[in-house]
């Protein structure tokens, strides 16, 4: 599988979880927010590590940034639809 597709999917999941963490932390859900933060940080740090070791750093970071926007959009939209 193409590394950019992997970065995009991982970034999408990572930011989806981060936004979920933010929402759960604001609601006082301690255990859930702690689990989500742990998973988020594992994915985030691995992506950053991969990007800086790669010879196409700018393209990887751009792909990651796009996926972060998409993950946030999806999670916030889901939250808004609950209301």
- For every residue of the chain, DSSP letters joined together read --HHHHHHHHHHHHHHHHHHHHHHHHTT-HHHHHHHHHHHHHHHHHHHHHHHHSTTHHHHHHHHHHHHHHHHHHHHHHHHHH-
Average pLDDT value for residue range 18-37: 90
Q: What range defines the domain where residue 34 resides? A: 3-82
Structure confidence by residue, pLDDT tens digits, 64-80:
999 999 999 999 999 89
For the chain, percent of residues with pLDDT exceeding 70 = 100
Structure confidence by residue, pLDDT tens digits, 39-50:
989 988 988 888
- Number of domains composing the chain: 1
Confidence of residue 53 (pLDDT cuts 50, 70, 90): confident
Confidence of residue 54 (pLDDT cuts 50, 70, 90): confident
């Amino acid at each position: 599988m193409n590394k950019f597709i992997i970065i995009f999917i991982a970034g999408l999941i990572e930011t989806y979880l981060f936004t979920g963490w933010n929402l759960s932390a604001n609601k006082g859900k301690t255990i859930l927010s702690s689990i989500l933060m742990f998973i988020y940080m594992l994915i985030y740090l691995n992506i950053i590590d991969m990007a800086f070791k790669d010879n196409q750093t700018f393209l990887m970071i751009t792909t990651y940034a796009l996926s972060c926007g998409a993950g946030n959009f999806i999670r916030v939209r889901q939250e808004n639809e609950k209301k």
